Amino acid sequence: MKRAVFLVSSAMTLVLGTGSFAQEVPPTYSLYGTPGLLEMPVATTAEEGTLAGTLSYRDGLFQAVLNYQLTNRLSGTMRYGIVDLYNDFETSVIENELERGFDLKYQLVEEGTYVPAIAIGLRDFLTPGRFQSEYVVATKSIGDNLTVTGGIGWGEMGTHGGFDNPISSRADRPVFDETDPDGQLGSDQWFAGDAAFFGGLDYQINDRWGVLAEYSSIAYDPAPNAPAISADSPYSFGVTYRPRDAVQLSFAALNGQELAISGSFFLNANNRPSLSGFETAPVPINARSASARQTTTWDRSATPEAALRSALTATLAIEGLTLTGMEMTDRTARVRFINTRYRSNAQAMGRAARMMTQVMPGAIEIFILEVEARGIGLSSVRVARSDLEALENRPGAAATLFANAAFAAAGDDAALIPAQDDTAAFSWGISPYFALNAFGGDGSLSADAGLRLEASYQFSPQLILSAAVAQSAVRFDAEDPEPDSTPDLQNVRTDGRFYGDDGVPVLESLALTHYGRPGGDLYSRVSVGYLERMFGGISTELLWKPVESRFGLGAELNHVAQRDSDMGFGFGEYDYETTTGHLSAYYDLGNGYHTQIDLGRYLAGDWGATLRLDREYENGVRIGAYVSQTDTSYEDFGDGSYNKGIVIAIPQDFLTGQPNRDNYGTTLRTRVGDGGARLNVDGRLYDVVRDAHQADLSDTWGRFWR
């Protein structure tokens, strides 16, 4: 084969312009981890869906920041800071205090030919915010490489060169109060007190290098409990370098005297690094002959059902699908299978359907595909074999097939003939773990890492005994729980730091779980045993979730006792038993937004509610936030009443392109309090069930044909 023949054609273009495949380079990120100059914000926004993680350091302040551009205009930020603070009397510096903060920014005006982008923002807006600032900022590009920013700031951003507040009704700003309740909206502070101007320039020399100049309005004035950071001059200069599009490194000379460095790392949920995936091609549809299509029955003696089950078991196994049961009539084949490989159940169904065209007699015209998880059939999707044959590789095939498919609850279990004689199964594995916990009111952050041995034995597909034993590599101080300073509120979470710190292997969980489907749209779970690190007992759950509905309702009732802190089998150390449970409503709002509301009684006996909102991308990336508020009072129990956090999940196949059902995920909490604490029980029903329901299937239906 002579490649030279094609030299003439190698100059041909295959260009996609500003279509869905285009990737934008994110704007410059500041040391505070948001689009900005060095410490001051800009009005520019990142591309929608951008997640940016930033680590930055200047003397006295280390920050780890997660910034997320939720919509084209709205972004949110969560920040952990390790900061040096003046003490109550400004007489000395307390080093390395852990702080958390949240920012919000909204772009009011998009940049036009003559109009700058204008944004309004709140930095560290929850109490007690040591960096609490508000700002209005404008940014304008001049040519391709230069942007100019000017703004007005309040709070910390109004401390250098401040002047009387132009909003005369908010002339005075309440003094920072160290004892303010944690995590309340500090709205009496917002846009109050002196204001000050800030601004700067960002010049991109080329795609990789840029320079920054900033006039800052943050003075870092010494004050009781204020950050001990020196900032003699308002002028700062920096250099940015992007070794790759997804990485920004910054080096800065701040305030004329301090050096600072930062690194930002970007991921855009809309731009999958693995493109549309690297999985191997499916077996094509085996189209029937015209005569085979005409048949209305098949010869069961020549092609016995048992042989078809065996053949389909073998062929589905090639695709990582486990056939569990099958029911056949003259014209239909209903197959139930477990998807162990594909993130998208729609893709699993597409692969299963293609294999069925290889195996099933010509008379079989209807394929009924039922995905099973935890022993329960999750849904049934009915497709016509002639549709598969007619639509394969045709434009619009996915939309047409989806429109023609029928979605319903999974069919009768009893009518299925099992594909396997013996469903008992044992599995085990050892893996490393890493966990970051923000325990208790004192806000200490502790890391844990080690090895975890997990094993499970499946008595039947619905009944599973599972256990996990962990050995920490870093926690062996064997501290005993301290006397409870708030005896009226059980230490259901704040004592977590004393659990499993004896340096020996501990039993994380040992539980027997039964899953069931008591009715068409009803799903159930019962778990008994050592359910999690701190509690054991019984947990029951019932979920109502019709396949074609975006709405689900759940009820959970648990009776648990607090385990001993040595994480053995005992419950005597705390002698604490409680009944906890919630009513939950789940709703898929559409456009990638999902919400969940839980009402009920939490582990410490407090009553309240949790609201959760998630932005879920069809490719599986999920970024959510939740808040819990219960009747536990701040006055009595400190930072206990109010829990909040950020949940991030990124499917492994998003990054690797290899088909896989696992996620990389974490929950970032500001702190783990005793109020609003829920049982950490494994395998809650909604996430298991919705995965094969119509709305979720439609999200990834484009993969049916892949």
Partner 1 sequence: MARLGLLLAACALMSCGDARDEGLGGQVAGLLLGGGAEAPAPQSLNVTEDDLLSNPGTYMRVNVRDHNRWETMVRAGSNGTRTTWIDGQSITVTEENGIVVATRGLPRDMMGAEATATWNAIRAGGGMVQRQVDFLDDQDQILARVLQCRIVSEGSDPVTRLQRTYPASRFKEECSGEGLSLTNIYWLNPSGRMIRSLQAVSPDAGYLQIDVF
In the complex, minimum distance from the CB of residue 51 to partner 1, in angstroms, rounded to a whole number? 14
As given in the structure block, the two tokens for residue 52 are 């940016």
Distance CA 317, CA 653 (A): 20
Instruction: Report which residue type is found at 132.
Output: Q
Q: Is 337 in the site for partner 1 (CB under 8 A)?
A: no
In the complex, minimum distance from the CB of residue 354 to partner 1, in angstroms, rounded to a whole number? 10
Q: Is 21 in the site for partner 1 (CB under 8 A)?
A: yes
Instruction: State which residue, 443 or 657, has the beta carbon closest to partner 1.
Output: 657
Q: Is 395 in the site for partner 1 (CB under 8 A)?
A: yes
Q: Is 19 in the site for partner 1 (CB under 8 A)?
A: yes
Q: Is 404 in the site for partner 1 (CB under 8 A)?
A: no
Across the chain, which distance is largest between two alpha carbons, in Å?
94
- H helices present in 494-616, as ranges: none
Instruction: State which residue, 11 or 414, has the beta carbon closest to partner 1.
Output: 11
Q: How many CB atoms lie within 10 A of CB 613?
A: 16
Scan residues 582-621 and list those touching partner 1 (CB under 8 A).
617-619
Q: Is 242 in the site for partner 1 (CB under 8 A)?
A: no
**Binder to partner 1 among 396, 518, 572, 590 (CB under 8 A)?**
396
**Binder to partner 1 among 193, 361, 605, 675 (CB under 8 A)?**
361
Distance CA 28, CA 35 (A): 6
- H helices present in 434-593, as ranges: none
Q: Is 287 in the site for partner 1 (CB under 8 A)?
A: yes
Q: Is 696 helix (H, G, I), strand (E, B) or coil?
A: helix
Binding residue count for partner 1, defined by CB under 8 A: 78
Q: Is 288 in the site for partner 1 (CB under 8 A)?
A: yes
Instruction: State which residue, 401 or 489, has the beta carbon closest to partner 1.
Output: 401
Distance CA 7, CA 329 (A): 58
Instruction: State which residue, 493 or 690, has the beta carbon closest to partner 1.
Output: 690
Instruction: State which residue, 9 or 113, has the beta carbon closest to partner 1.
Output: 9
Distance CA 428, CA 449 (A): 20
Q: Is 17 in the site for partner 1 (CB under 8 A)?
A: yes
As given in the structure block, the two tokens for residue 220 are 């870092």
What 8-state DSSP symbol labels residue 382?
Answer: E
- Residue that the structure tokens 């359907």 belong to: 353
Instruction: State which residue, 602 or 701, has the beta carbon closest to partner 1.
Output: 701
Scan residues 653-692 and list those touching partner 1 (CB under 8 A).
657
Scan residues 253-282 and list those touching partner 1 (CB under 8 A).
270-272, 274-282
Q: Is 700 in the site for partner 1 (CB under 8 A)?
A: yes
CA 164 to chain centre: 43
**Binder to partner 1 among 76, 162, 234, 362 (CB under 8 A)?**
362
Q: Is 432 in the site for partner 1 (CB under 8 A)?
A: no
Instruction: State which residue, 270 or 524, has the beta carbon closest to partner 1.
Output: 270
Provide Rg for the chain, Cα atoms: 29
Q: Which of 335, 416, 344, 345 is nearest to 369 (CA)?
A: 335
In the complex, minimum distance from the CB of residue 323 to partner 1, in angstroms, rounded to a whole number? 12
Q: Which of 396, 406, 393 is nearest to 367 (CA)?
A: 406
Instruction: State which residue, 6 or 551, has the beta carbon closest to partner 1.
Output: 6
Instruction: Report which residue type is found at 227.
Output: P
In the complex, minimum distance from the CB of residue 318 to partner 1, in angstroms, rounded to a whole number? 5
- Non-local (6+) Cβ contacts of 594 within 8 A are 586, 587, 588, 613, 614, 616, 624
Q: Is 285 in the site for partner 1 (CB under 8 A)?
A: yes
- Non-local (6+) Cβ contacts of 219 within 8 A are 159, 160, 231, 234
Q: Is 47 in the site for partner 1 (CB under 8 A)?
A: no
Q: Is 6 in the site for partner 1 (CB under 8 A)?
A: yes
CB contact at 8 A, 122 and 104: yes
Instruction: State which residue, 31 or 419, has the beta carbon closest to partner 1.
Output: 419
In the complex, minimum distance from the CB of residue 451 to partner 1, in angstroms, rounded to a whole number? 33
Query: Terminus-to-terminus CA distance in the chain, angstroms?
Result: 30
Q: Is 355 in the site for partner 1 (CB under 8 A)?
A: yes
Q: What is the 3-state secondary structure (H, E, C) of 344-380?
A: CHHHHHHHHHHHHHHHCCCCCCEEEEEEEECCEECCE
Q: Is 366 in the site for partner 1 (CB under 8 A)?
A: no
Q: Is 421 in the site for partner 1 (CB under 8 A)?
A: no
String of DSSP letters for 169-224:
GG---PPP-TTSPTT-B-TTTTT-S-EEEEEEEEEESSSSEEEEEEE--------T
In the complex, minimum distance from the CB of residue 12 to partner 1, in angstroms, rounded to a whole number? 5
Scan residues 619-638 and list those touching partner 1 (CB under 8 A).
619
What 8-state DSSP symbol labels residue 674?
Answer: S
Q: Is 16 in the site for partner 1 (CB under 8 A)?
A: yes
Instruction: State which residue, 275 or 414, has the beta carbon closest to partner 1.
Output: 275
Q: Is 318 in the site for partner 1 (CB under 8 A)?
A: yes
In the complex, minimum distance from the CB of residue 138 to partner 1, in angstroms, rounded to a whole number? 31
Q: Is 570 in the site for partner 1 (CB under 8 A)?
A: no
C-alpha triplet 670, 676, 677: angle, nearest 5°:
85
In the complex, minimum distance from the CB of residue 270 to partner 1, in angstroms, rounded to a whole number? 6
Cα→Cα distances 351→60, 312, 399, 478, Å = 56, 12, 17, 52
**Binder to partner 1 among 5, 7, 175, 414 (CB under 8 A)?**
5
CB contact at 8 A, 671 and 571: no
Distance CA 153, CA 234 (A): 14
As given in the structure block, the two tokens for residue 533 are 């690190």
Q: Is 339 in the site for partner 1 (CB under 8 A)?
A: no
In the complex, minimum distance from the CB of residue 284 to partner 1, in angstroms, rounded to a whole number? 4
Distance CA 210, CA 250 (A): 9
Q: Is 705 in the site for partner 1 (CB under 8 A)?
A: yes
Instruction: State which residue, 134 or 279, has the beta carbon closest to partner 1.
Output: 279
